[in-house]
Amino acid sequence: MFEAEIRLYNYDQAPAAPLFPGDPGEHCGARIVQLLGEGLVGYDPQSGAPHLEAAESVTTADSRSFTVTLKPGRTFHDGTPVLARHYVDAWNHTAYGPNGLPGAVWFEKVLGYPEVHPAQGRPSAERLAGLRILDELRFEVELAEPFATFPLALGLVAYFPLPDAYFADPEGFRRQPVGNGPYRFAGAESGTDYRLTAWPEHRGTHPPRIRGLRLTAYPTREQAYQALLNGELDYLDALPHALLADGRCERELAGRLVGRDGLMLQSLAFPGHLPGYGHPDLRRAVSLAIDRPRVIGAALAGRQRPADGWAVPQVSGYLPDQAGGWCTFDPERARTHLARSGFTGPLEIHSPVSARDWLRELADCVTEVLGIECTLRLYDRTGDYYDAVGGRTVTGAFRADWGADYPALENFLRPQFHSTGAFNDTGYARPEFDALLDAADTAPSQAEAATLYQRAERLLAEDLPHVPLWQEWACAGYSARLTDVRMTTHGYLDLTSVGVLG
């Protein structure tokens, strides 16, 4: 028996990219694709622990060659069976450079990636040499080098399969995407409302309990919050910071709040190529000048956990105090390092407008301690902000919030700080750091890999390409229609437990 429809918030703009696994480069699209599809691996909504989902097994003898065996009897929403070739075809399509898909970065370690996705020029191959179909339900993945952590990532949307319908009619698929997950696409309205319905044939670990989902974009958090109060929205995981901090959300929602420590770390990133911002003493000065408990208490309702490194405690490989004291509040040392840097200001910080309240408090800290002007450059549209950061047109430091794709220390380090990392938007490059990550990737066991990742993280304390701020406290408000409300490790509504009244 399905519960009634739930109305969910879906960021501040409609998805700009098609809804298929290789192209969820934006949060609003990825959230929908995650509901439409299902990975080889799944993640427990409460602990984040990985488990086999569409895969019957993922085996390896050397952490380089992996054999994936699929569970039999799984089908796409159009009724066609999910077979090994649907993964291989989808992965080859995503990795192929001329297709220009953001998800290609997740195939960099597969043998043959440089041939299908060269840094320059045309590809010399159309398919990854490391993918081989063994039979209808088995395929092999050979990596260029061993990578013990690889199976943990197989629940990411980039690794979802694509049905034959996509390759037969790409344009039709974009209008009516077909997945293999618990919900199927029912339509889009006004460019901002996306409707999904439960797919009763789903055989996954968590079959759908909710009859339908409506995901709606609102231009601002304030408008979304008003919709929640008006009974037009059931779950909002982007409550306005100011209203949380002054207790208004608690009062107006009559206690209908849910929260937890998230798998997200908030930081300030410093582009190394900008004059002054590349000096490590400026970054040290700013980090020591930030009174994290003050900012958290004054502008974030006091729930965030001050950072002590570049990962959060819930991930495999986390070690406390990796920042080596740079995350403590020490005004005297801060001023000493500012003098060494030669930086006289002003200090610019770029961010989406949604963070304006806590950023103003943080900027006040920096100005009071260091005596330099600290100005905010705020973006009304989150997409414009990410375009500026990705295009390296920001003219100062910028907010860098990173949420784990999968619960491992490696996922906090490589994407953001390896010189070739897909999200290394500061241009950070240190050969010793890269070498440690590369050695960890090829370690014979996950335990040995963790030790090398931890050594690499400690090097970040010498350079501070990002100034860690705090572990995010994910918080959401919900309507009186919902019961048994829990939040997943990524802050989403846990659809495996929630109920609906009426």
The CATH number covering residue 238 comes to 3.40.190.10
- Does residue 372 belong to any structural domain of this protein? yes
- Does residue 231 belong to any structural domain of this protein? yes
Number of domains making up the chain: 3
Angle between helices 431-441 and 409-417 (to 10 degrees): 140
Residues 272 and 309 in one domain: yes
- Does residue 81 belong to any structural domain of this protein? yes
What pLDDT is recorded for position 1?
Answer: 46
| CA–CA–CA angle 217, 198, 172 (5° rounding) | 70
Q: What is the CATH number of the domain that holds 357?
A: 3.10.105.10
**Look-up of token digits 């794709």:** 405
Domain region containing 188: 184-256+479-500
DSSP letter at 149 equals: T
Whether the CB-CB separation of 493 and 487 falls below 8 Å is answered with yes
Single out the residue in 141, 175, 209 at which a domain terminates.
175
Residues 279 and 154 in one domain: no
Closest CA to 304 of 361, 219, 343: 361
Provide CB contacts within 8 A for 356, sequence distance 6+: 376, 378
Residues 294 and 273 in one domain: yes
Is-above-0.85 flag for pTM? Answer: no
- Does residue 64 belong to any structural domain of this protein? yes
What pLDDT is recorded for position 25?
Answer: 59
What pLDDT is recorded for position 2?
Answer: 57
Q: What is the CATH number of the domain that holds 100?
A: 3.90.76.10
What is the three-class DSSP state of 238? coil
Residues 241 and 161 in one domain: no
Q: Which residues pair with 9 in a beta bridge?
A: 216
Single out the residue in 126, 158, 175 at which a domain terminates.
175
Residues 428 and 296 in one domain: yes
- Does residue 11 belong to any structural domain of this protein? no
Residues 106 and 235 in one domain: no
Whether the CB-CB separation of 156 and 405 falls below 8 Å is answered with yes
The identity of residue 486, as a single letter, is: R
What pLDDT is recorded for position 46?
Answer: 87
Measured CA to CA, the distance from residue 94 to residue 89 in angstroms comes to 9
Measured CA to CA, the distance from residue 495 to residue 487 in angstroms comes to 9
Measured CA to CA, the distance from residue 60 to residue 124 in angstroms comes to 29
Residues 201 and 269 in one domain: no
Residues 321 and 385 in one domain: yes
Residues 420 and 290 in one domain: yes
Single out the residue in 123, 158, 175 at which a domain terminates.
175
Measured CA to CA, the distance from residue 92 to residue 264 in angstroms comes to 30
The identity of residue 243, as a single letter, is: L
Whether the CB-CB separation of 362 and 368 falls below 8 Å is answered with no
What pLDDT is recorded for position 502?
Answer: 67
- Does residue 138 belong to any structural domain of this protein? yes
What pLDDT is recorded for position 242?
Answer: 82
DSSP letter at 210 equals: B
Whether the CB-CB separation of 309 and 468 falls below 8 Å is answered with yes
- Does residue 24 belong to any structural domain of this protein? no
Q: Is 417 exposed, middle or buried (0-12, 13-18, 19+ CB in 10 A)?
A: buried
Bond prior to 346 in cis (omega within 30° of 0): yes
Residues 214 and 297 in one domain: no
288: tokens are: 């020591």
Q: What is the CA radius of gyration of the chain?
A: 23
What pLDDT is recorded for position 329?
Answer: 97
Task: Going residue by residue through the chain, which has 502 residues, state the pLDDT in tens, using 9 for 90 and above.
Answer: 456 899 999 887 777 667 888 876 567 778 888 999 999 999 998 888 889 999 999 999 988 999 999 999 999 999 999 999 999 999 999 999 999 998 898 999 999 999 999 989 999 999 999 999 999 999 999 999 888 889 989 999 999 999 999 999 999 998 899 999 999 999 988 778 899 999 999 999 988 989 999 999 998 899 999 999 999 999 999 888 788 878 898 899 998 999 988 889 999 999 999 999 999 999 999 999 999 999 999 988 888 999 999 999 988 899 999 999 999 999 999 999 999 999 998 999 999 998 999 999 999 999 999 999 999 999 988 878 988 998 999 999 999 999 888 888 999 999 999 998 888 999 999 999 999 999 998 887 788 889 999 999 999 999 999 999 999 888 899 999 999 999 998 889 999 999 998 6
Measured CA to CA, the distance from residue 270 to residue 372 in angstroms comes to 17
Residues 82 and 165 in one domain: yes
What pLDDT is recorded for position 436?
Answer: 97
- Does residue 12 belong to any structural domain of this protein? no
Residues 231 and 283 in one domain: no
Q: Which residues in 127-163 are b (16+ Cβ under 10 Å) and which e?
A: bbebbbeeeebbbebebbebbbbbbbbbbbbbbbbbb
